[in-house]
Chain A
């Protein structure tokens, strides 16, 4: 729910970001530094971006080193250890099958990151291609794709992803695809708007006059205008995708047992809320921290690309 609403604003913000960053870099008295250096400097100065980056970095490490970090197997059942509260042997306790929750969470990071990256990858690739073509060529393709996007946006929040999973069938792969398809409109709209703006720039006109073809113009002169907004949207998008996928797994559409997916783990713990609070509490904290990391990174990057947005 949160993400869908966020996207609308993010897109507008991200669009501003690029326009203004080019403006300010031109006016910046410190022209001795390249625009890239200036932006990198701003990213380094942004506390938000740095905290976000640290969280995301730690999570990636956790996912990569899962087999080394996890104290036990994420799926091995041991009914003698059922429902153990957090202790020095099991930091986050154990679940109804005696599985070590910490180990499941550590391995779960792999799934959440994968879901976020793949869903956003699908949305970004399709959305960018559609946005580039629609913005650059206009015409019937633009008309058609805009109408289709309007229709997709008529399904609020998770609803589109939910309907797609209903058709494709349950499972984490289908959830990634569904969340990815559901996020295409944001990327297509963002890219299209930026292409429309970039098309008018004189250097594009100049490149065209000197004989550059469409593909070269799009790739070398227009697309670079879009990248910084895309990076911002992707970071916030990963946050949204992880949240959506966890929600879909929570209602049973996503990862199936015994996969250690955070949303599904939380859902399993529902029946044991009264006495075994740890089964639901810890996976939720990890979802929140992961999403927070990507949100902070995205917010921080946006401010770095667009100093005006920090007012």
Chain B
């Protein structure tokens, strides 16, 4: 077990290094002078000033040194300063991150509830109208653009009915519509995958044995099949968090919900690269760590994994 965890932990190091190199190169690959970009809405600096700024920012040093200081700064939580607000990127992110975490977790709960239940029910009643209807709804759910669903929900519940606020994040009411939008979309994928994981398990011999020895169907489903389908379902949930995080970029901007997704979209609009860089790095690192955690969880649920 300890060995499995150690190997898996060490395996994430090259991935995180790669991620940091990609994110670091992002700003360097953008055509144009970063200094000009910083001053895009101000009076352009003189050549001497530019040279001084370049020196202050370390842009006149060799690239590998710049990368080294990028990594060491990032490890200490220093992601540079926003071009636009001139405030530290870490501070901008810290102000917004709790909102995104709230939204992601709430939608994860909604999608798990709807998706897993729908998937198990569909698999249990496979090839009946229940299965058919839930899978038709699920494939439609997978095909609907999230931003459109968000706008339609907003049009109905905020604009026409006035039940929920249109924008912001001050109260729990602000969380409801973005959560439903993200959660419902994610539940469609989850329902499809849960159904197929359940069907895989339901085809196994031990399920046939359980039925043969006269167990009630719901005990077969919940006690034997679902427990074994949990491993793939948990994996999907881990991947789902990445999907929800990146989905939040779009949905947050639909509902003007002040999380890091909306911050990123604003940063993209103003080409505020340090901020974009910081958010992309953070989300990728969170995602890698979530998947690491999922793998560990996996070994708790499935002894075969940790012994292999």
Contacts and interface: CB of A to CB of B under 8 A. Distances in A.
Contacts of A277: 155
Interface stretch (A63-71, A113-121, A280-288): A280-288
B120 interface: no
Interface in B240-264: 240-247, 249-250, 253-254, 264
Q: How large is the interface on B (under 10, 10 to 19, 20 to 34, 35 or more residues)?
A: 35 or more
Given A163-B276, A166-B26, A154 B284 contact: yes
B108 to A, nearest CB: 12
Interface residues of A, number: 53
B234 interface: no
A9 B140 contact: no
B145 A263 contact: yes
Nearest to A292: B143
Given A151-B18, A151-B19, A274-B159, A295 B268 contact: no
B203 interface: yes
Contact of B243 (A1, A150, A287, A292): A1
Contacts of A267: 147
A247 B146 contact: yes
Contacts of B241: 156
Interface in B193-228: 193, 196, 199, 203
A210 to B, nearest CB: 39
B22 interface: yes
A31 interface: no
B249 A158 contact: yes
A280 B148 contact: yes
Interface in A252-311: 252-253, 263, 266-267, 269-270, 273-274, 277, 280-281, 283-284, 287-289, 291-292, 295-296, 299, 311
Contact of B15 (A154, A239, A270, A292): A154
A246 interface: yes
A156 B246 contact: yes
B155 A150 contact: no
Contacts of B142: 2, 6, 291, 295
17 contacts: A2-B185, A2-B243, A4-B243, A6-B142, A147-B14, A154-B287, A155-B280, A157-B243, A159-B284, A163-B23, A251-B268, A266-B147, A266-B148, A267-B147, A270-B254, A284-B145, A291-B145
Interface of A: 1-2, 4-6, 8-9, 13, 147-148, 150-151, 154-159, 162-163, 165-167, 169, 239, 243, 246-247, 250-253, 263, 266-267, 269-270, 273-274, 277, 280-281, 283-284, 287-289, 291-292, 295-296, 299, 311
